[in-house]
């Protein structure tokens, strides 16, 4: 094991894949300077400008070129800087990359990874703070990944690069400096396999990305009151680990889904509906969803905080479900 930050773990994973496979390359704005968050720092010196490729400020152009390059046999890693900016390239991703394999009868594949940093980050305001993961889970043909730890950010990115399907890879901006143990060597994390971070008997809490850390904090608070919460990190939203979630809720009889994204039409609703439809007879209480209100994220920190789902809110919801 090595101690790495979330950002450095992903960089290590990308570098390993580029050394392993000469068809892997990265393209985006300012990559030669290390990327906006430093997640490509030093890579230009090792791999050169043909594989760490700086692009003009045109997300549609970047994505369109990468989709074509992927269909011709390379494995591009596309840096979109912010998930908000990726909306400029939504046609190339949603109407072209996601559908190519199906529309060409499997004769063409698009092994493409699109890195889209998500989430609130030090007063970045409404155009730089969105969590849009649920948009992509709605699109057939796309894989959607939301790592929460340095180890997963390395292992999932390596798996994404080796995938023959387009992967929307959503890293939370607030996690870049977070440190943790990261396995050395060829560490791969499979898609569709959730991670049970804490076992419990009273309530299941499901989340992903940075919100997972707040769920763990809430679980620690609950334990002091004698409530044992089981915390599940989905890791990938599509595919998502239905079996693991259902097994947990069947044991606890209660479910909370916590997300940073706006609650309305969020992926938490998909989880809640699946559990309610499948285990309605086993539930001891209605499923509870926690998410942001349907408002733009403000620049002002006090207003930004109004859009956050806190550990205290999660703990209070769990206490209410358990009935203590």
Multiple choice CATH, 2-182, 3.40.50.1000, 3.40.50.970, 3.30.390.10, 3.40.50.720: 3.40.50.970
Q: Residue 95 corresponds to which tokens in the numbers above?
A: 């109407």
Q: Provide the annotated active-site residues.
A: 128
Sign of CA dihedral 114, 127, 212, 238: negative
Question: At a CB cut-off of 8 Å and minimum separation 6, what does 243 contact?
Answer: none
DSSP 288-323: EEEEE-SSPPPSSHHHHHHTPPPHHHHHHHHHHHHT
What's the pLDDT score for residue 154?
98
Ranges of each domain in the chain: 2-182, 195-322
pLDDT in tens, 217-275: 999 999 999 999 999 999 999 999 999 999 999 999 999 999 999 999 999 999 999 99
pTM of the full structure = 0.95
Kindly report the CATH number that applies to the domain delimited by 195-322: 3.40.50.920
Question: Could you give the C-alpha distances from 289 to 159, 173, 214, 268, in angstroms and in order?
Answer: 30, 23, 15, 7
Neighbouring C-beta atoms of residue 32, cutoff 10 Å: 15
Do the Cβ atoms of 10 and 39 come closer than 8 Å?
yes
122 pLDDT band, cuts 50/70/90, is confident
What sections of the chain are H helices per DSSP?
A: 6-20, 43-47, 59-71, 90, 98-103, 133-137, 150-162, 211-224, 242-252, 267-279, 301-306, 311-322
Alpha carbons 17 and 39: distance in angstroms, whole number = 15
Q: Residue 251: helix, strand or coil by DSSP?
A: helix
Percent of the chain with pLDDT over 70: 100
Whether residue 324 has pLDDT greater than 80: no
Q: Is 2 left (phi over 0), alpha (psi -120 to 50) or beta?
A: beta
* Fold agreement (2-182, 195-322): yes
Please compute the mean of the pLDDT values over residues 27-47 and round it to a whole number: 92
Neighbouring C-beta atoms of residue 193, cutoff 10 Å: 14
């Amino acid at each position: 094991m090595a101690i790495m930050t979330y950002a450095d773990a992903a960089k290590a994973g990308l570098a390993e894949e580029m050394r392993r496979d000469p068809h892997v390359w990265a393209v985006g704005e300012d990559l030669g300077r290390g990327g906006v968050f430093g997640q490509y720092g030093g890579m230009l010196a090792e791999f050169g400008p043909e594989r760490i490729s700086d692009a003009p400020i045109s997300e549609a152009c970047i994505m369109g070129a990468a989709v074509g390059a992927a269909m011709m046999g390379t494995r591009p890693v596309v840096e979109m800087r912010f998930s908000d900016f990726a909306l400029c390239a939504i046609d190339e991703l949603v109407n072209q990359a996601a559908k190519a394999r199906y529309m060409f009868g499997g004769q063409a594949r698009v092994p493409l990874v699109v890195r889209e940093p998500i989430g609130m980050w030090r007063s970045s305001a409404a155009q730089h703070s969105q969590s849009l993961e649920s948009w992509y889970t709605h699109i057939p043909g796309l894989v959607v990944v939301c790592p929460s730890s340095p180890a997963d950010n390395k292992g999932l990115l390596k798996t994404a690069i080796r995938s023959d399907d387009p992967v929307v890879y959503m890293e939370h901006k607030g996690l870049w400096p977070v440190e943790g143990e990261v396995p050395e060597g060829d560490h791969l994390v499979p898609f569709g396999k959730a991670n049970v971070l804490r076992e419990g008997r009273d309530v299941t809490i499901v989340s992903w990305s940075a919100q997972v850390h707040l769920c763990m904090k809430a679980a620690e608070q609950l334990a002091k009151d004698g409530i044992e919460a089981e915390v599940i990190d989905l890791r990938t939203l599509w595919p998502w680990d239905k079996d693991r979630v259902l097994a947990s809720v069947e044991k606890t009889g209660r479910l909370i889904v916590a997300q940073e994204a706006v609650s309305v039409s969020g992926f938490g609703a998909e989880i809640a509906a699946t559990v309610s439809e499948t285990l309605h007879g086993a539930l001891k209480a209605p499923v509870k969803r926690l998410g942001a209100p349907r408002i733009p994220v403000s620049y002002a920190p006090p207003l930004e905080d109004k859009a956050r789902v806190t550990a205290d809110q999660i703990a209070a919801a769990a206490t209410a479900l358990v009935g203590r």
